[in-house]
Amino acid sequence: MTFGKLIRSIAAVLALGFVLAGCQEKEGPAERAGKELDKAAASVGSAIENAGQKMQDAAK
């Protein structure tokens, strides 16, 4: 391995480390809002499934 390739490899590993370290930050307000929306959508989906099941049961 030449010196230039070694330096590039080290630089790539350091850059990857910085990118991954940036991903470890606390979640911001947009991420929290997105999670809340996901929870609400799941709740609505469950309610619709339950209502559909009750309609099928009533039709029997």
Residue 49 DSSP SS3? helix
Give 25's pLDDT tier (boundaries 50, 70, 90): low
Question: Using one digit for the tens of pLDDT, what is the confidence trace for 41-57?
Answer: 998 888 888 888 888 88
Decide if pLDDT at 27 tops 70. Answer: yes
DSSP string, the chain: --HHHHHHHHHHHHHHHHHHHHTTSPP-HHHHHHHHHHHHHHHHHHHHHHHHHHHHHHH-
Distance CA 10, CA 3 (A): 11
Q: Which candidate, 13, 10, 16, places its Cα nearest to that of 2?
A: 10
What residue segments make up the domains of the chain, in order of their start?
34-60
pTM above 0.85, yes or no: no
Residue 2 DSSP SS3? coil
